[in-house]
């Protein structure tokens, strides 16, 4: 954690850019002196409503990007902000993607739905340093065409790495792969010693791990960013307990072999 002495202190930053990603999802860029790292998140606060943990989706100089889907009171109010408004937050919190472990190996990034917001920044950092890897494969699954995030980035990503998309459902506007992301994993060659970074809905993660294991990838080489509702972000309230771990301070990035027994149980 890289916050100041008081981890609950809110700071305000101006929204300098806002774009609509989908019908219910927006990306915001704030001008900030914060120094988050790929994998970390901030707690974004809306006065009178509450706060929500939002992954840092990217950083360019002093501009920090968050991508927010309106799925509750807090996120719906955050999405109502406009350019020029102030956003209040605390952070950054959490650990980071261990990208150095993939040096000299194939890096595989698997993202489902809004999980792409948690993997986007580390993918872009890997692109900048792609000579460090044996290869970079990024797989992204979306439930339908209208839910696709960051469409304006696809051409650039395609030009640098093996970036593939699959939709759960066919659409006349879509000419690419159709089917669950696990079907895409089955069709693609993945090195046995590949290092995998993954974020998405729990069922996607569980069944993607099964397919990766069939290809010889060990769970000690698979890292998952956990999406849980954090409240305090400093490991005191217990709201995000996952087995013996606090997702807020021990994660959100976990080696899958460490959490496998808890991940596959219900109500943990």
pLDDT band at 253 (very low <50, low <70, confident <90, very high): very high
> Looking at residues 19-31, what average pLDDT do you find?
97
CA pair distance 115, 228, nearest whole angstrom: 12
Are 142 and 154 in contact, with CB atoms under 8 Å apart?
no
- What DSSP letter does each residue of 36-48 carry, written as one string? --TT-EEEEEETT
- 4 is a domain residue: no
> Looking at residues 108-125, what average pLDDT do you find?
98
Helix axis angle for 256-263 and 202-214, nearest 10°, is 120
Instruction: For residues 127 and 252, state if they share a domain.
Output: yes
Are 55 and 61 in contact, with CB atoms under 8 Å apart?
no
pLDDT band at 78 (very low <50, low <70, confident <90, very high): very high
Domain extent at residue 22? 11-93
- What DSSP letter does each residue of 151-190 carry, written as one string? GGGHHHHHHHSEEEEEESS--TT--SEES-HHHHHHHS--
Q: What is the pLDDT of residue 5?
A: 67
Last residue of a domain, one of 52, 69, 93: 93
- Lowest mean pLDDT: which of 2-11, 206-215, 240-249? 2-11
- For residue 53, pLDDT beyond 60: yes
- 160 is a domain residue: yes
- 6 is a domain residue: no
Quick: pLDDT tens for 121-133: 999 999 999 999 9
Quick: pLDDT tens for 189-222: 999 999 999 999 999 999 999 999 999 999 999 9
Q: What is the pLDDT of residue 234?
A: 85
pLDDT band at 224 (very low <50, low <70, confident <90, very high): very high
Quick: pLDDT tens for 161-174: 999 999 999 999 99
Instruction: For residues 109 and 55, state if they share a domain.
Output: no
Q: What is the pLDDT of residue 266?
A: 56
Instruction: For residues 105 and 193, state if they share a domain.
Output: yes
Domain of 191: which CATH number?
3.40.50.80
């Amino acid at each position: 954690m890289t916050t100041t002495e008081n981890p609950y202190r809110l700071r305000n930053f101006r929204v300098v850019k806002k774009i609509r990603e989908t019908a219910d999802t927006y990306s915001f860029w704030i001008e900030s002196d914060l120094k988050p790292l790929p994998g970390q998140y901030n707690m974004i606060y809306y006065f009178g409503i509450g706060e929500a943990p939002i992954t840092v989706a990217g950083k360019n100089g002093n501009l920090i990007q968050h991508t927010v889907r309106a799925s509750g009171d807090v996120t719906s109010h955050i999405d109502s902000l406009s350019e020029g408004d102030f956003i209040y937050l605390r952070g950054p919190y959490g650990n980071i993607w261990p990208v150095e472990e993939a040096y000299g190996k194939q890096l595989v990034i698997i993202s489902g739905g809004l999980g792409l917001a948690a993997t986007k920044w580390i993918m872009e950092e890997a692109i900048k340093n792609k000579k460090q890897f044996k290869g970079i494969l990024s797989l992204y699954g979306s439930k339908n065409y209208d839910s696709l995030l960051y469409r304006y980035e696809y051409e650039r990503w395609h030009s640098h790495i093996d970036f593939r998309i699959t939709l759960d459902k066919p659409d006349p506007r879509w000419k690419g792969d159709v089917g669950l992301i696990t079907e895409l994993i089955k069709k693609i060659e993945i090195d046995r010693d590949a290092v995998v970074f993954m974020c998405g809905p729990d069922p996607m993660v569980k069944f993607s791990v099964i397919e990766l294991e069939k290809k010889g990838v060990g769970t000690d080489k698979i890292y998952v960013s956990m999406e849980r509702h954090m409240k305090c972000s400093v490991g005191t309230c217990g709201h995000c307990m996952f087995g013996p771990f606090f997702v807020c301070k021990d994660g959100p990035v976990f080696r899958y072999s460490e959490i496998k027994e808890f991940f596959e149980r219900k109500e943990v």
